[in-house]
Amino acid sequence: MNFATAKNFAITEPFARREVRFLELWQPTGWSIKIYGLTHPRRAMPGGEFLAAVKMLAAPLLGSVAPQDHHGAGFFILHAARKANFILLDHWTGENTIRQNAYTSTFDEPEAFTDMTASRLVACVWELQVLSFERQAWLDAVLANPAGPDLDAYLDQRMNGYV
């Protein structure tokens, strides 16, 4: 079977690169979180009230993580996608694992989050590129660093560009 002509499969929009931008290093008590914006070509970079609402959503989640279950480091992806906002809240646990909570919201009500963590969805192709960058940053600064784990070096590695 030819994959491109498989039944029930159609490309609804041509692939286009999307901008990813490091927005800020957010440091609520006990945490350092890199926050990224990611945009569909017809959407604006996330920020302002939406960013503030994401922080309000995330603060109690981070506060509920037992100290032995995190390193106080992670990253968030705020994706203004084609049809909705997608919010990935990721933090490092164990030596080499990411724990993720995922949410979505509409453009009409960007601060009305719907928890989609249980959906088992991971990430789209653009978000996966940010995840790949963060994986490499964690390897370079923490797991494979000849000088030993360096969380500051990890937090200093930030992605900006088009994916």
Residues 77, 96: Cα–Cα separation, whole Å: 19
Residues 103, 86: Cα–Cα separation, whole Å: 6
**pLDDT value at residue 10:** 84
Q: What is the mean pLDDT of residues 28-50?
A: 97
Global confidence as pTM: 0.93
**pLDDT value at residue 126:** 98
Residues 135, 115: Cα–Cα separation, whole Å: 24
**pLDDT value at residue 6:** 60
